[in-house]
Amino acid sequence: MFNVEKIRDDFPILSKNVYGNPLVYLDNAATSQKPRQVIDALVDYYENYNANVHRGVHTLSMEATDKFEEAREKVATFINSESSDLVVWTRNASEGLNLIAYSWGEDNVHEGDEILLTPMEHHSNLVPWQELARRKNAVIKFIPMRENGTLDMDKVDDLITERTVLVSAVHMSNALGTINSVRELGQKAHQQGAKILVDGAQSVPHMPTNVQELDCDFLVFSGHKMLGPTGIGALYVKRDILNTMEPFLMGGEMVLEVSYEEASWADLPMRFEAGTPNIADSIGLGSAVDYLNDLGMENVRTHEKNLTSYALNKFKEADLDGMDLFGPDDPEVRGGVFSFNTVDVHPHDLGTFLDRMGIAVRTGHHCAMPLVRSLGVAATVRASFYLYNTEREVDILVDGVTEALRYFRDGSK
């Protein structure tokens, strides 16, 4: 059963007050809050079985290793990976993208090759490719976007050619909320022998993910946006590709045999995990996955879809003067992300005003500078929902924005 009030009780921070008002946390696209269960898992590790992994015969090390690998299993099952050895721990989605750009990109992208992106990529799925393209004299192209913030899929066939080696796309946009048809993009990429990378930083936390059904070659995501700790994320790569990829970082843990002259690499996935890993936070992420599984990702998505419909209606009803709400208006292809701009009141001022009411929103370019500029604005205000947000909180947001506009337009008091 999906009971929001009960869920909220699991999140200690949600009972906090900000400037005397109950916290309304609507910055989930930046990072999510953590339930007691995840916090407890971290404490349990440090208090009861803290030890390095894969290195000791002693009891604690074996227990830590078991829990660490069990967490990897949980994450692998969560995205329906055929096996847990295809899941590489990273610090976050950004590190996963950089790992692919180096380990796969260096050997597979050549002069004149093309990489196809969308205009709504986070800087993390843009800058590594820009740099790779610069090193290799490769070309980056973009799928055009329609007025409503969805991809113009009709143009994709012409853009994917035999020169295309990679299509890399965000599954759910952190700036617009748009949910892209990455499965279809993957099919089109595969028809031309190109690979498909899915940036799941915003989708994995909010909807069921099935890498086999998506048939994606690469998937990256971050733990901290899905109830887990910061500093831990994961990368999934199809086996035949991961097998051919050279390690990105060298050192301990990632080797099989070492002489003074050379070394051979450890099996998957350790080959890509040099040095002592982030043991505590991996285990914390495993616990977050348990929590999400208990709720059911279908239920999470349904809750957020309802909240999104509700918010779309609320904003429409409020009909705020001079306000532009970006992104698709169909909740089927939109996550709970609300980016907007008002002609005369700057996002920063709105953000500060809302903060005084206890409402946490993000203001700025949301690490998608080219996209926000293409909307014709310097910055936006973004409210983003998660499984613990309520319709009441949407009401508070809409009222807050209404009042803020009045305050800045008509003067205080």
Q: Which residues bind ligand PLP (CB under 6 A)?
A: 29, 92-94, 122, 124-125, 170, 174, 199, 201-202, 222, 367
- 355 DSSP assignment: H
| Bridge partners for 220 per DSSP | 199, 235
Q: Does 365 bind other proteins (CB under 8 A)?
A: yes
Tokens read off for 376: 């014709």
Q: Does 127 bind other proteins (CB under 8 A)?
A: no
Q: Between the CA of residue 237 and those of 20, 42, 216, what are the distances in Å?
A: 47, 27, 8
Please, which residue, 301 or 314, has the CB nearer to ligand PLP? 301
Which of 3-11, 79-87, 286-294, 345-353 is the region at the interface with other proteins (rule: CB under 8 A)? 345-353
Least distance CB 373 / other proteins (angstroms): 8
Q: For residues 93 and 222, is the Cβ–Cβ distance under 8 A?
A: yes
Q: What is the size of the binding site for other proteins (CB under 8 A)? A: 22
* Residue keyed to tokens 């050549």: 110
Q: Which of 348, 374, 391, 392 binds other proteins (CB under 8 A)?
A: 348
Tokens read off for 201: 């930083």
Q: Does 19 bind other proteins (CB under 8 A)?
A: yes
Alpha-helical (H) ranges within 112-153 are 127-136
Q: Does 316 bind other proteins (CB under 8 A)?
A: no
Least distance CB 28 / ligand PLP (angstroms): 10
Q: Which does 90 bind (CB under 5 to 8 A by kind): other proteins, ligand PLP, none?
A: none
Q: For residues 292 and 300, is the Cβ–Cβ distance under 8 A?
A: yes
Please, which residue, 123 or 301, has the CB nearer to other proteins? 123
Q: For residues 318 and 402, is the Cβ–Cβ distance under 8 A?
A: yes
Q: Which does 356 bind (CB under 5 to 8 A by kind): other proteins, ligand PLP, none?
A: other proteins
Least distance CB 380 / other proteins (angstroms): 9
Helix (H, G, I), strand (E, B) or coil at 337: strand
Active site residues: 367
Q: Does 369 bind other proteins (CB under 8 A)?
A: yes
Least distance CB 171 / ligand PLP (angstroms): 8
Q: For residues 362 and 179, is the Cβ–Cβ distance under 8 A?
A: no
Helix (H) / strand (E) containing 373: helix 369-374
